[in-house]
A and B are shown apart, each in its own frame.
Chain A
């Protein structure tokens, strides 16, 4: 607990004035102020997360109780009305798969860029290039959406065609007839969007690898890459995991770019495992239908969907925490 003043309770010898007796040592104003402020911030953050969760649950439960369909396994989406029936399976699938593919692309690529910037690039290039990456991380997502729609989509279409005709026998890559705004396309745009995040944070931690460790590896006869593998990567591992979690959080929750690009499916469209299918993510579904929030029961259905997204990010973050904690003794 911060904010508790440290009191030195050594008894003073009789008759002597206390050392530096300004009566301030037990409760210095600055200590109390900053300690209190830090404690308050911590409490507020926890309270906010709790309140958000409470809000989501309170709003979602009535709608869920009226729900005629299985919320987790149904693909129907007919909220509101007398017989509301809605399930999130399709959004869950699209969100998770698009997020996972985006990570599969973005994390290795982002880490590679970070390694290049910290370990390989000429020194004069490191500063400016790093500033550029940081800038890229701050580009608003609508810009990626526009770029994806106007520039990248026409470029991606023939690639998708080629994959479909070559690997179409594989269920995940089967042809669906949908050419734009497919799950894979969304995933690729998301990955481009989050690479700068992974890079910026990984670069920060890779650059902090102590020279002593790197020299230790080199003195054992490690090549440059072996040195990176034995010192820089393990040292940066917790940071890379944190960076990936932030990036995944953004990818899962990304709204505007996805809403912009995605091909939504008609209600009752046939199920397919293909990544070349369309389909809404949680965020895009909610955003696309914000106009429908006409009554509490309708709204509750969308809030229930948001609750799942909330739980999803919570679970992913917890797993990452556990992974980091388990190796804590091995990270100084």
Chain B
């Protein structure tokens, strides 16, 4: 059920401002692709174009092409709501719905899709929480508020919520940046398991994390402040970290700047 993403010559704008320029890349199914790069280089912005979440911000639009297998995500009649049901997202800060219980948080997406059968919901809630390595910790308090969990548990709850709707692709926007090292480790282990089922794209500021979890790494950068961000190179993670093709990548991963 994982799908491949093909991006061709994508520009992203917020109003008149060009945030990202000329990105072309292929994201392989059943693998983890990491986006690294300095702040403001457009990696999160670009990530959001993969499920059209950039359109939530006023003035956000793109030029270019994003293909999910053979579907054009920006075809004129493509519904962004349908895109987001296929391409799920986990955010930087855990954002469980505070007014909902743990159970209802995981079931939220299913209910939006019209699933009402209690048995079906129970089954998917359990398998999703198990898939997010959270089941053992919360199975006795499914009716307690999701906001009562620790930060790391909340983030895994958000992952469970995202995978409950069976997306093809899972986008993760710096999912560990608000978490402590132990919770980070739990999420990283989880990413390693999830890639057997999903196409995963993860934005991270932490280069060790990119090296640990990803199969392919894309390095984004900008020429100067105010210039649009661009993709410098994308390659196997081992190649990016050991033998990058571009000098800029070499400089960044060796800590010479950024």
Binds B, one of A94-102, A221-229, A271-279: A221-229
- Contact among B85, B108, B113, B145 with A230 in the assembled complex (CB-CB below 8 Å): B108
**A17 interface contact, C-beta 8 A:** no
Say whether B112 contacts A226, CB under 8 Å.
yes
Set of chain A residues within 8 Å of B15, measured between Cβ atoms: none
**How long is the Cα–Cα vector from A293 to B226 in the complex, in angstroms?**
76
Interface size of A in residues (CB-CB distance below 8 Å): 25
**How long is the Cα–Cα vector from A18 to B88 in the complex, in angstroms?**
58
Binds A, one of B96-104, B125-133, B211-219, B234-242: B96-104
Say whether B112 contacts A216, CB under 8 Å.
no
- Contact among B51, B86, B158 with A216 in the assembled complex (CB-CB below 8 Å): B158
Closest chain B residue to A332, Cβ basis: B98
Interface residues of A in 206-237 (CB under 8 A from B): 210, 212-223, 226, 230-231, 234-235, 237
Expressed in whole angstroms, the minimum distance between the Cβ of A225 and any Cβ of chain B is 11
**B56 interface contact, C-beta 8 A:** yes
Say whether B101 contacts A220, CB under 8 Å.
no
- Contact among B82, B96, B148, B162 with A219 in the assembled complex (CB-CB below 8 Å): B162
**How long is the Cα–Cα vector from A210 to B81 in the complex, in angstroms?**
20
Say whether B113 contacts A221, CB under 8 Å.
yes
Q: Would you mind naming 30 contact pairs between A and B with Cβ atoms under 8 Å apart?
A: A213-B98, A215-B53, A215-B89, A216-B96, A216-B158, A216-B161, A217-B97, A218-B84, A219-B51, A219-B84, A219-B89, A220-B84, A220-B88, A220-B108, A220-B109, A220-B161, A221-B85, A221-B109, A221-B112, A222-B81, A222-B84, A222-B112, A223-B81, A230-B108, A231-B97, A235-B98, A235-B99, A327-B99, A330-B145, A332-B98
B interface residues (Cβ-Cβ under 8 A, vs A): 51, 53, 56, 58, 81-82, 84-86, 88-89, 91, 93, 95-101, 108-109, 112-113, 144-145, 147-148, 158, 161-162, 165
What 10 new A-B contacts, CB under 8 Å, besides A212-B95, A234-B100? A123-B58, A219-B53, A219-B84, A220-B165, A221-B84, A221-B86, A221-B109, A330-B98, A330-B147, A331-B98
A interface residues (Cβ-Cβ under 8 A, vs B): 123, 210, 212-223, 226, 230-231, 234-235, 237, 327, 329-332
